[in-house]
Structure 1
Amino acid sequence: MEKSVEKVDKWCPGPTKNRILGIFAKQPVPGRVKTRLCPPLTPEQAADLYQVCLQETVTRMQSLVGCELAICYSGDKDWFAATFPGITLVPQRGSDLGARLAQCLSDWLTAGYGAAVLIGSDAPDLPLERIEQAFSALETADLVHGPALDGGYYLVGETTHHAQLFQNISWSTDEVLAQSLAKATQLGLRSVLLEPWDDLDDLPALLRLVTRTPHSSTAIHITRVLNHSPDTVIDSLT
């Protein structure tokens, strides 16, 4: 396991306005990613879809200027290093999702970054402007969230770490954002909400992405998969 001091040294802010963007990601192992899409997808199809989403998310975020990019990974480091060469890799640490999110943000802000933002890997067509808006918001606010349509959030960012924001949250429910905002209010934090966006957690969300950005890599992949299982799709929609 890497020593904390080595990670902190690696994360020393460079010439990027002291901003860092982390992509939270899992290794796409069947049965461990996008399980809420099974059915209608098989575990193998869900894992393939997740990998396409992750690849498109990373590729698009690499085009951003003014912030450093890292992948906060869960799984085999060698797989991530081979798939995303040259990108800083940070192992997720913690007993639950909240602890893992908190640890990444805490480490970066302690290392000297002025603003740290985390996004997931299941919003591959998220407008790049949302990332820029998040960092702009953090110039005057303490906290920023990007609300997901399912009651969670697709983005969270801080300028000073507050571990309480990630504790005792009902993760993977529609209460995540509401509970997080309530904690922010209790702590007296200046909080900003971005415009909502979709997570790819169910079939309707997949179809909305195909309609919204039909030429994206993820949309093309979804269309190909769903066209090979029309009966399953129809049954899922009725």
Structure 2
Amino acid sequence: MTSLLVIAKEPVAGRVKTRLTPPFTAHEAAALAEAALADTLAAVAATPADRHVLVLDGAPGPWLPPGFDVVPQSGGRLDERIAAAFAACPGPALLIGMDTPQVTPGLLAPALRFDTCEAWFGPAEDGGFWALGLAEPDPELLLGVPMSRPETGEVQYGRLRAAGLRTALLPRLRDVDTAADAAEVAALAPHGRFATCHRRLTTALAAAR
């Protein structure tokens, strides 16, 4: 049974995308986070998998499409929460976050196949990673990896290689962390909910000046 997981926070003002403030308010940053999550979930829902799972910190909202198992995130550091998400999978699993609304089923589908590799790794522009796939989920591959640092991706990729796993690379994507990130990602996927929300908010900001 192959699982496709999204690890995410409920898009609540003041708890998500705090690096977008300023120029956006906390509520505007939460609106962008909700749009990014909705785009991500739509892409995941359109990608064939045995299970679609949302590993959620918070409560589901109207942004959640049908067909997802919703499980609560465990406590602890991010590496521990990701490890716990993989530990709950009975077979191969691919996990992504909510920060890459430009993701598509075409990017995700190949990483659910493990016939020629044992792991998939999607590096992020900021030095982290946006996707991690494991043919045999092993929490020990994640525990202790320093998260949200410039070296996060390098350390995680090194763990996979040190374990002797044949690892295939996914395209490098940009996470939405800052206002500059948001503008670039919106331009990459101009027809999504995230881009629509970004246009509305930046137009209002420009008009207020």
TM over 0.5: yes
Find 1:154's aligned residue among 127, 130, 137.
130
Q: Does 1:164 align with 2:140?
A: yes
Where in structure 1 are there 5+ consecutive unaligned residues? 1-17, 234-238
Give a deviation string over 1:117-136, Cα, whole Å, max 9, x none: 11111211212122112112
- Do the aligned partners of residues 99 and 19 (structure 1) sit closer, same or farther apart at CA in structure 2, a change above 3 Å counting? same
Find 2:27's aligned residue among 34, 40, 44.
44
Find 1:229's aligned residue among 188, 205, 209.
205
SS at match of 1:229: helix
- Do the aligned partners of residues 232 and 151 (structure 1) sit closer, same or farther apart at CA in structure 2, a change above 3 Å counting? farther
How far does residue 140 in structure 1 lie from its aligned partner after superposition?
A: 2.6
Q: Does 1:217 align with 2:200?
A: no
SS at match of 2:100: coil
| 2: CA distance, partners of 1:170 / 1:144 | 19
How far does residue 168 in structure 1 lie from its aligned partner after superposition?
A: 2.1
2:73 aligned partner, one-letter code? Q
| 2: CA distance, partners of 1:62 / 1:181 | 27
Q: Does the 8 Å contact 2:86/2:139 carry over to 1?
A: no
Q: Does the 8 Å contact 2:123/2:172 carry over to 1?
A: yes
* Correspondence for 2:5: 22
User: How many residue pairs get matched?
Assistant: 209
Find 1:123's aligned residue among 96, 100, 115.
100
Q: Does 1:63 align with 2:40?
A: no
Q: Does the 8 Å contact 1:94/1:103 carry over to 2?
A: no
Q: Does the 8 Å contact 2:122/2:132 carry over to 1?
A: yes
Give a deviation string over 1:28-85, Cα, whole Å, max 9, x none: 1111111111112111111111111111221222122244211110113xx3488445
Cα RMSD (Å) of the superposition? 2.1
- Do the aligned partners of residues 134 and 232 (structure 1) sit closer, same or farther apart at CA in structure 2, a change above 3 Å counting? farther
Q: Does the 8 Å contact 2:41/2:64 carry over to 1?
A: no
**Identity score, percent:** 28
* TM-score relative to the length of structure 1: 0.81
- More helix, by proportion: 1
How far does residue 149 in structure 1 lie from its aligned partner after superposition?
A: 0.8
